[in-house]
Amino acid sequence: MWVVVILGVADLAIRILALGIIPGNRRPTTAMAWLLGIFFVPFVGIVLFLLFGNFRLSSRRREQQQQVNERVQAGITALSDAESDYQGPEWVKSAGELNRRLGSLPMVDGNTVDLIPGYPDSIFAMTEAVRKAKKFVNAEFYIMSTDHITDDLLTALEEAAERGVEVRVLFDHIGTLRVKGYKNLLKRLKAGKIQWKRMLPLLPIHGQWRRPDLRNHRKIMVVDGELAFTGSQNLIEPSYNNPRHRKAGREWVELMACLRGPIVTTLNVVFATDWLSETDESLEHQLQLPVDTAPGNVTAQVVPSGPGFITENNLRLFNTLIYSAQHRISICSPYFVPDDSLLYAITTAAQRGVDVELFVSEKGDQFLVHHAQQSYYEALLEAGVRIFLYKAPFVLHAKHFTIDDEVAVLGSSNMDMRSFSLNLEVSVMLLGADIVTKMRAVENTYRDISHELRLSDWLNRPLAARYVDNVARLTATVQ
């Protein structure tokens, strides 16, 4: 009898407390999803909320992020000296100021940017850069693997470390753990002189604990402070070491950029921040401008984002640029599950006459995410957005967009709520007609091998498919 009373009181207390606690600093849809779970299954719901409800990093990591930002601003006068003299539209300058205030990194002039759409081509370019390294190599990737595609690059990193180059490697613990060959990778790293760490390690036995689904999703490589790579690609073969993918002919399609100029230093700031977070070792001595400080004509700005910041830096930038567009928006995102603000920005742009196109995979690699994504197609098509489906079985994993003839953005960030709230991401805003033209050339290749989705065809899809899409959409709010 007393057990029943105690359980009843506890159940009521959980519900009352949840009503006043969970909505705090959360989107109403997110709060409602958590509340429904707790009200239907109170004890299970509260356990899940305690595990997954806090999407921020620990207070220590957030304080550390702020301290690094302040140290960068105060201690790296070279970056202040290199600040941009960009003379383009005011709305672009405004976006740059937003990025500067949120992410602490300035726009810088004088960069060159070469886009590398070929999967093996980017691995080869990074390998060759490492072989020429003289001082240091900093590599940070969400997923790393030792396989037939990455072997030469890992060998180049090992050889660089052997000849005295400082080689530092970061990889996301859970992201890399999930792919085949994790133990072989650890064995290889432990056998050489590469300095390496897991990012966001989840090792309770060592006292390392945090929300289990937080990820460091960034992809960065910096060589000697002179050359950098960033984009969408992980260091793994294009079928992700998955026999099922290989059997189906499924390969990931990526876009990486090779950059020179002052932007390299700002990318290295992001790596240095993550290295400091995992090791407590400062790399400020590396954060000097390249010797060739103005090799090109592209103005660029690095935008770090993630739960280490108090704001959603990438989402705010994306919305700002989309609302500023006058003529054309082209978006490529493998996981397109927008929040209301981004959905309104995109559909509003189309409704006010801007040509908006979206490139996505015909068939996604993640069941729930792909069906959640499809649940937004009707609203997009009705607003006038053109949707191009990249031919299956390939997975269009590249992440970038262009605005008018002024701005291109690429990096690791998807246009979904996971990338806005849960993942540490890095994006690069690139300014000028030249880089936009290069990006549009890549987008044209997507269009050539895609087919356009028509609203009439989409409305006629089976009711069962519509049902699955709508159910999957509910999973997008639980963050």
Q: How far is CA 227 from CA 103, 119, 154, 220, in A?
A: 22, 19, 18, 11
Q: For the segment 198-252, what is each residue's pLDDT rounded down to a tens digit?
A: 999 988 777 777 778 889 999 999 999 999 999 999 999 999 999 999 999 999 9
What whole-number distance in Å separates Cα of residue 106 and Cα of residue 413? 19
Higher per-residue confidence, 295 vs 401: 401
Higher per-residue confidence, 471 vs 40: 471
Which tokens is 415 given?
Answer: 């246009």
Q: For the segment 440-453, what is each residue's pLDDT rounded down to a tens digit?
A: 999 999 999 999 99
Question: For 338-406, where are the alpha helices, taking DSSP H only?
Answer: 340-351, 367-374, 377-383
Instruction: Work out the burial of residue 320: count CB atoms within 10 Å of its CB; fewer than 13 is exposed, 13-18 middle, 19 or more buried.
Output: middle
Split at pLDDT 50, 70, 90, the class of 419 is very high
Q: How far is CA 413 from CA 26, 91, 271, 333, 400, in A?
A: 21, 22, 16, 8, 8
Split at pLDDT 50, 70, 90, the class of 172 is very high
Average pLDDT over residues 296-311: 90
Residue 84: predicted pLDDT: 82
Strand partners of residue 389 = 360, 451
Percentage of the chain exceeding pLDDT 90? 71
Question: Residue 253's closest CA among 401, 425, 446?
Answer: 446
Split at pLDDT 50, 70, 90, the class of 104 is confident
- Mean pLDDT computed over every residue of the chain: 88
Cis peptide leading into 393, omega within 30 of 0? yes
Rg (CA), the chain: 23
Q: For the segment 107-162, what is each residue's pLDDT rounded down to a tens digit?
A: 999 999 999 999 999 999 999 999 999 999 999 999 999 999 999 999 999 999 99
What whole-number distance in Å separates Cα of residue 169 and Cα of residue 316? 30
The structure tokens 């989309």 sit at: 322
Q: How far is CA 173 from CA 12, 94, 293, 317, 368, in A?
A: 38, 37, 35, 28, 23
Q: What b/e string do you get for 186-200 counting C-beta neighbours within 10 Å, with b at 16 or more? A: eebbeebbbbbbbbb
Residue 202: predicted pLDDT: 83
Collapsed DSSP state (helix, strand, coil) of residue 375: coil
pLDDT reading at 458 higher than 90? yes
396 close to 443: Cβ distance less than 8 angstroms: no
Split at pLDDT 50, 70, 90, the class of 403 is very high
236 close to 143: Cβ distance less than 8 angstroms: yes
Listed in order, strand segments (DSSP E) in 261-326 are 298-305
Task: Calculate the CA 77 to chain-centre distance.
Answer: 28
Q: For the segment 273-293, what is each residue's pLDDT rounded down to a tens digit?
A: 999 889 989 898 898 888 776
What whole-number distance in Å separates Cα of residue 147 and Cα of residue 478? 35
Four-CA torsion 266, 271, 274, 278, nearest 10 degrees? -150
What whole-number distance in Å separates Cα of residue 293 and Cα of residue 221? 19
Beta-sheet pairing, 407-411 with 423-431: antiparallel
- Length of the chain equals 479
Residue 5: predicted pLDDT: 66
CB neighbours of 82 closer than 8 A, spacing ≥ 6? 106, 108, 109, 110, 262, 265, 289, 293
Residue 337: predicted pLDDT: 95
258 close to 113: Cβ distance less than 8 angstroms: yes
DSSP output for 410-447:
EES--SBHIIIIIEEEEEEEEESHHHHHHHHHHHHHHH
Average pLDDT over residues 182-194: 96
Beta-sheet pairing, 166-172 with 195-199: parallel
